[in-house]
Structure 1
Amino acid sequence: MNSSIGADNKRAYLELMERMLLIRTSEERLGRLAKNGELPGAVHLYIGQEACAVGACSVLDDRDWITSTHRGHGHFLAKGGELRTMFAEIWGKREGICKGMGGSMHVADFSKGILGANGIVGGGFGIATGAAFGAKLRGDGRVSACFFGDGAANQGTFMESMNISSAWELPLVLFCENNGLSEFTVSRTVTGGQLVDRAKAFMPTEVVDGNDVLAVQAAMIKAVERARRGQGPSYVEAKTYRIRGHLEAEDAMLGGGTYRTKDQIAEWQTPERDPISRFGDYLREAGIADAGEIDGLRSQVSRMVEDAVAYANAGTDADVGLAHSLMFADQEA
């Protein structure tokens, strides 16, 4: 694996592992709940892509902005979002991070720099670019990072954001999670050329193994440092794969149809490719952590997730009247 923070910094490595385990365990729990019909709406799970969010967000501070996607639980947790309030939001509870009015696809926490997940494909481009423009005007050293998938790269706002961020040298990082899938479609059947080539005309680019958390981190360090120096935007493309369907109700929606095989999914679940298994092997082989320490993290995370489930279940249903008071800034909730 690509090491970027030094083998002597054990705590930093274990924090990467803990955060990936938190995302994986949370998403697996949500998947089971969705299958049992215990959630009020659909969920789009991040399983298999944990190294992307964790590696990228490990370089960012609370002051830095991110924009997310409909598959945004991983980004929220990687950036330091609180697990209990995220679960409460998914359950549609008043205790949720958005008071239960946003749901799974719209978790946000400005105090952590999380400008929000977005149910619109490609909806984060303009928001992240605007945040970067604001940071440049203020000169406050903040960086804005936009997470998006390969399907979103076919939206016109992708080119527009690259163009204006390059022309104005904005502190923006465009982070493409290229999992080869666009909802229910294999991306190569609807996308011409290589995505990275679109960005090369505007800014420095780097393509990395998105299932190697340290490789992602190393690429992000360069992009963020460049942005903080006032040298403009960068494009990072992480090659990865989502293990679960576009959403947990996928089988019912496809009506027996399919766009990928079980063998393809299984290939990405092997220890050599799975981001958590790979990083666990690295930690053990490098003598940074033993199996007992990693198992301890798993147990700790499992307790946190069960606590969050209980917290969400015990919450109060959202006040639908808030729809009339949350539309504009400075309104009282």
Structure 2
Amino acid sequence: MLNTAAILTFTCQGTAAVASARTYADFTQQASFEIKKCDVHKLDESPATEVVMTREEGLKYYRTMQTIRRMELKADQLYKQKIIRGFCHLYDGQEACAVGIEAGINLSDHLITAYRAHGYTLTRGGTVREIMAELTGRRGGIAKGKGGSMHMYTKNFYGGNGIVGAQVPLGAGVALACKIQGNNELCVSLYGDGAANQGQIFEAYNMAALWKLPAIFICENNKYGMGTSVERSSASTDYYKRGDYIPGLRVDGMDLLCVREATKFAADHCRAGKGPILMELQTYRYHGHSMSDPGVSYRTRDEIQEVRSKSDPISMLKDRMLSNNMASVDELKEIDVSVRKEIEDAAQFATTDPEPPLEELCSHIFHNEPPMEVRGVNIWSKLKSSS
């Protein structure tokens, strides 16, 4: 293999053209980066501020974040065409949170979140095709078309949960199971700033601290709970201190590397038997709370555009890779094209795959069980789908 630039000759419409292509060895394989320091609560140490990222990691992070972004934009389009119905909460703008968290833990660890869950379904092992088909209620969806936007699941991922804050005590229960089983695993429980004032969250904090559970509680603070700003809803907006007796970190949630390092730090804390830890990721959603919320009645378009221009997580990663010779513009464009094709193919499947038949309505109530019977009578056996 040559370590110098290779010369590729190709013919286009009968005309010969010559272009230079850089080989793998031309790129910087890893680089160090200075990242923003976390604010800490009840901690003597804090995550590293000088971190290393490899070219391979950077390309993987870039592809995953672009996939989440494009998937959410396609969901927006399908919703406006009334192909996706019901509730739909999009994640574009917050991609660094999902990808950064996954980069700091293992797939054998556990994760549970609220209803803004499409990105985590992808990072936890779901495919774009399964997610898009679930959004349109099709048989090939990740929950067989029965869950929709808010209820998707994969191995070690306990889904999007529709009840505000309810996933946090459930996550504490998963962390308790990890401790009982002694498997050195942990559970990440995510919730938004809008859920941060829920009483059940503080009850979960209490038990997790009392029993020293391997639990990472993460508040994705995207500045608005539905249409209410954090300043109007919370007497204290220092969400990372809300655990009081639980250590906390406040992290730049728009910087993937900040999220990754903070999550690694939190995971090490849990695996060392020190009990739970709380993280606040300061992030931002570009869409409104849900597709029924235009998102511009309580904030200005200029505010959204300013975040996009100064703090976009994908642009930040792209700039780092290009300025450190870790990738070329053409290479990243190729990823963009590949991602767009994957999204379009998934959308095509999601609009042509059959809907689940009516007789499947009560299947999968329990894992690997036949349709549920009520008082000894299977009432669904009389129902047949006409489609």
Does TM, normalized by the shorter one, top 0.5? yes
> SS of the counterpart of 1:116?
strand
1:84 is aligned to 129
1:311 is aligned to 349
Q: What is the identity, as a one-letter code, of the residue corresponding to 1:288?
A: M
Residues in 2 aligned to 1:154 and 1:323: alpha-carbon distance in whole angstroms? 36
1:263 is aligned to 302
2:52 is aligned to 6
Question: Are residues 1:163 and 2:206 paired?
Answer: yes
When Rg is computed on C-alpha atoms for both structures, the one with the higher figure is 2
Q: What is the identity, as a one-letter code, of the residue corresponding to 1:294?
A: L
Q: What is the identity, as a one-letter code, of the residue corresponding to 1:289?
A: A
2:146 is aligned to 101
Residues in 2 aligned to 1:25 and 1:267: alpha-carbon distance in whole angstroms? 20
Residues in 2 aligned to 1:31 and 1:306: alpha-carbon distance in whole angstroms? 13
> SS of the counterpart of 1:104?
coil
Does the 8 Å contact 1:34/1:42 carry over to 2? no
2:107 is aligned to 62
Q: What is the identity, as a one-letter code, of the residue corresponding to 2:241?
A: D
2:247 is aligned to 204
Q: What is the identity, as a one-letter code, of the residue corresponding to 2:335?
A: L
Question: Are residues 1:115 and 2:161 paired?
Answer: no
1:27 is aligned to 72
Q: What is the identity, as a one-letter code, of the residue corresponding to 2:270?
A: A
CA drift of 1:204 comes to 1.8
Question: Are residues 1:146 and 2:189 paired?
Answer: yes
> SS of the counterpart of 2:280?
strand
Residues in 2 aligned to 1:135 and 1:330: alpha-carbon distance in whole angstroms? 24
CA drift of 1:231 comes to 1.8
Question: Are residues 1:302 and 2:345 paired?
Answer: no
Name the TM-score, length of structure 2 as normaliser: 0.80
Label 1:14 to 1:132 Cα distance change in 2 as closer, same or farther (>3 A).
Answer: same
CA drift of 1:291 comes to 1.2
The structure where strand makes up a greater share of residues is: 2
> SS of the counterpart of 1:95?
coil
CA drift of 1:63 comes to 1.4
Residues in 2 aligned to 1:308 and 1:60: alpha-carbon distance in whole angstroms? 28
Residues in 2 aligned to 1:236 and 1:142: alpha-carbon distance in whole angstroms? 18
Does the 8 Å contact 2:83/2:351 carry over to 1? no
The structure where helix makes up a greater share of residues is: 1
- Runs (4 or more) in structure 1 with deviation over 4 Å come to none
**RMSD of the TM alignment (CA)?**
1.7
> SS of the counterpart of 2:297?
coil
Residues in 2 aligned to 1:289 and 1:265: alpha-carbon distance in whole angstroms? 28
Q: What is the identity, as a one-letter code, of the residue corresponding to 2:148?
A: G
Aligned-residue sequence identity (percent) comes to: 33
Greater shift in the superposed pair: 304-313 or 208-217: 304-313
Question: Are residues 1:284 and 2:322 paired?
Answer: yes
1:195 is aligned to 239
Report which structure shows greater RCO (CA 8 Å, sep ≥6).
1
Residues in 1 aligned to 2:50 and 2:147: alpha-carbon distance in whole angstroms? 36
Name the TM-score, length of structure 1 as normaliser: 0.93
2:261 to 186, 208, 218: 218
Residues in 2 aligned to 1:218 and 1:304: alpha-carbon distance in whole angstroms? 30
Q: What is the identity, as a one-letter code, of the residue corresponding to 1:316?
A: P
Q: What is the identity, as a one-letter code, of the residue corresponding to 2:112?
A: T
Question: Structure 1: where are the runs of 5+ without partners?
Answer: none
1:43 to 70, 88, 92: 88
Residues in 2 aligned to 1:4 and 1:15: alpha-carbon distance in whole angstroms? 20
Instruction: Provide Cα deviations, 1:50-76, integer angstroms capped at 9, x if missing partner.
Output: 001110012222211111111111121
Residues in 1 aligned to 2:58 and 2:240: alpha-carbon distance in whole angstroms? 29
> SS of the counterpart of 1:56?
helix
Q: What is the identity, as a one-letter code, of the residue corresponding to 1:103?
A: G
Does the 8 Å contact 2:209/2:275 carry over to 1? yes
Does the 8 Å contact 2:241/2:247 carry over to 1? no
CA drift of 1:30 comes to 0.8
Label 1:321 to 1:153 Cα distance change in 2 as closer, same or farther (>3 A).
Answer: farther
CA drift of 1:321 comes to 3.7
Residues in 2 aligned to 1:275 and 1:140: alpha-carbon distance in whole angstroms? 33
Q: What is the identity, as a one-letter code, of the residue corresponding to 2:239?
A: L
CA drift of 1:187 comes to 2.1
Instruction: Provide Cα deviations, 1:280-315, integer angstroms capped at 9, x if missing partner.
Output: 101111221121121111111111111111221221
Instruction: Provide Cα deviations, 1:149-199, integer angstroms capped at 9, x if missing partner.
Output: 101111111111111111111111111110110012112101111222212
Residues in 2 aligned to 1:46 and 1:85: alpha-carbon distance in whole angstroms? 17
Q: What is the identity, as a one-letter code, of the residue corresponding to 1:58?
A: A
